[in-house]
Each structure stands twice: as structure tokens, then as C-alpha cells.
Amino acid sequence: MISVEISKITRQKELKDRYNIFTIKYGKEEYLFSVDEAILIKYELRKGMELDTLLINEIQYNDEIRKGYHRAVKYLASVKRTEAEVETFLSSKMEKPALVAEVMAKLKEMNFLDDEDYAFSYVRTQRNTTTKGPKVIKRELKEKGISANLIQVAMEELSYEDQIQSAKKIALKFLDGNKKESSRILMQKLEQTLARKGYPSAIIREVKNAPEVLDMDNNELEALRVHGDKAKRKYAKYEGYEFTQKMKQFLYRKGFSMELIEQYLNDIEE
């Protein structure tokens, strides 16, 4: 087994916690490898110490774990992350799965990783700062690598009443910005909007029938007049029965009831 002797140890200029190890080869000083300060202390590396191949491999293996650990801690410094996210990050930086596993174990030991705490914290943050529905939040947690069982438990932080209140905020904002639609089209679009936001059908039904939502939907005749005026310009070349049928077809496709359309047509005839 080949052995080498440490001839010099120097601290790196840019990375103060790393040290370069040198040996003498063919009468000249030659760089051997570098190590973290913790590894230097652990193996009591010093000038004149003999290192065989087996020991060098062990030192470098443990140093790779130390480097991976530092990378992971830096990655976690700005924002909380899941175990799956950290493992993916480390796998992109380290070639050997065994090294990744060692670093992950060290991070858990030092309480840097806690998927349960992450899941509960994530649900609370989404509840307090967004109007995302439960389906969207569940999907996002799944994409972050949280287990199905843990997602189910964490979602208890989002109560039924929380979902109703958030969905109502979306509904009222949507209705306020879409006053020129018929009730039927408006409710269809509102339902689609809430579904895209991740709300289940039970929540959507309750929100659509909420008094404050129904109160927003009381200007259908005014909305019909807006569409009716457009239709009048579009079908201005028609007269009598043909004009009336064109108007009815146009306004019915826009979602207005035939009763309301008849009322509007009577008004413009007078």
C-alpha cells in the first residue's frame, strides 16, 4: 500500500475553513487534496504525518460529506424546503447516492429537515396569504415531495369555513369585474374560476348561493341592454320578424332568459 507524507498544510485564501494538503514528490512539493477544517481536526492532520491510500480515501469521502452538508445548509438558509427538494438538489451536486444519503441523515440529525413541520407551515401560509383552494394546495405539496398521509393531516389547518371565506373573496372580485354578463354565463364562469382555483363542488355550490354573492347579481337587465345595443347595431339591416329573431338568438346565446329578452325587446319597441 502506497504511503505519502504531509509536507505542508495551508489555509485557502477564498474559503477560510478549507485547507490544502501538500506532499513531496520527486523532490518537489505537490498538492495532494483539500479538506474542511472539521476533517482536518477529526483526523489530526499535520506536517510529517504519513497517509496511506486507504486513509486518504476515507478522508476524502468524509470531506465530500462535509462539503455536501455545507451546500445543503446554504440551500436551506433562504427558505424552508422539503426532504425531496433537498435530496434532488444534492443529487445534482454529488455523484454518489451514498454520499447524498449520508448528508441527508446528518441534516435530519441536526433538525434542518422536517416534512411534517413544513407541510403544516405551508398550509397555514397559503391560508393566510392567498385564496388558493384545497386541491391546489394539495397538488403543490405533492409536487414538493410531501407524502399523501402527511398532506391529509396538514390540510386540517384549512377549515371548511376558511375555504368558504376565501372562495367568497374570489367570487365577489370576479362578479365586480364582470357586470356585463348574463346571470347564467356569469355563474358558469364563476364556477369555472373557482374550480381552477382548486375548490371542490360543495364549496362552489355554497358560495354561488351565498346572499352577498346573489346580491352582486342583480343588474341582469342592465347587462342585457349592453349586449342588446351591440346586437341592434349588428342587425340594423334587418326589419320586423327577422330582426326580432336575430336579436332573440343573439341574446339567448349570451345566456339571458327568454322572458328578460322579451321585456327588453318590448322596451325598445316602445
Cell 391560508 sits on residue? 127
Among 160, 162, 225, 216, which residue's Cα sits nearest to residue 187?
Answer: 216
Q: What domain range is 237 assigned to?
A: 220-269
Whether residue 30 is contained in a domain is answered as yes
Range 132-167 burial, b when 16+ CB lie within 10 A, else e: bbbebbbebbeebbbbeebbeebbebbeeeebbebb
* Same-domain pairing of 95 and 10: yes
* Other residues' Cβ atoms within 10 Å of the Cβ of residue 61: 14
Task: Reduce the secondary structure of 209-233 to three states and give it as a string.
Answer: CCHHHHHHCCCHHHHHHHHHHHHHH
Contact 125, 108 (CB under 8 A): no
Q: Which three three-digit cell numbers place residue 260?
A: 328578460
- Average pLDDT of the segment spanning 189-212: 93
- Average pLDDT of the segment spanning 206-222: 77
Q: Which of 46-60, 106-120, 154-168, 238-252 has the lowest mean pLDDT?
A: 238-252
* Same-domain pairing of 75 and 43: yes
Q: What is the pTM of this model?
A: 0.73
Q: Rounded to an integer, what is the distance from CA 222 to the centroid of its chain?
A: 41
* Same-domain pairing of 214 and 224: no
For the cut 60, the answer to whether the pLDDT of residue 217 exceeds it is no
Whether residue 136 is contained in a domain is answered as no
Percent of the chain with pLDDT over 90: 65
Whether residue 133 is contained in a domain is answered as no
Q: What is the DSSP letter of 36?
A: E
Which of 94, 109, 124 represents a domain boundary (last residue)? 109
Q: Rounded to an integer, what is the distance from CA 205 to the centroid of its chain?
A: 27
- Average pLDDT of the segment spanning 244-255: 82
Contact 176, 216 (CB under 8 A): yes
Crossing angle (nearest 10°) for helices 97-109 and 53-77? 60
Q: What is the DSSP letter of 11?
A: E
H or E element that contains 127: helix 115-129
Q: Which three three-digit cell numbers place residue 126?
A: 397559503
* Same-domain pairing of 51 and 89: yes
* Same-domain pairing of 233 and 170: no
* Same-domain pairing of 11 and 105: yes
- Average pLDDT of the segment spanning 80-89: 96
Domain count, the chain: 3
The C-alpha atoms of residue 117 and residue 104 are separated, in whole angstroms, by 17
Phi/psi for 2 (5° steps) reads -75, 140
57: helix, strand or coil? helix
What pLDDT does residue 252 have? 79
Whether residue 127 is contained in a domain is answered as no
* Same-domain pairing of 189 and 244: no
Which of 218, 237, 261 represents a domain boundary (last residue)? 218
Among 156, 102, 91, which residue's Cα sits nearest to residue 127?
Answer: 156
**Strand 18-25 versus strand 28-36 pairing type:** antiparallel
Q: What is the CATH number of the domain that holds 245?
A: 1.10.10
Q: What is the CATH number of the domain that holds 66?
A: 1.10.10.10
For the cut 70, the answer to whether the pLDDT of residue 218 exceeds it is no
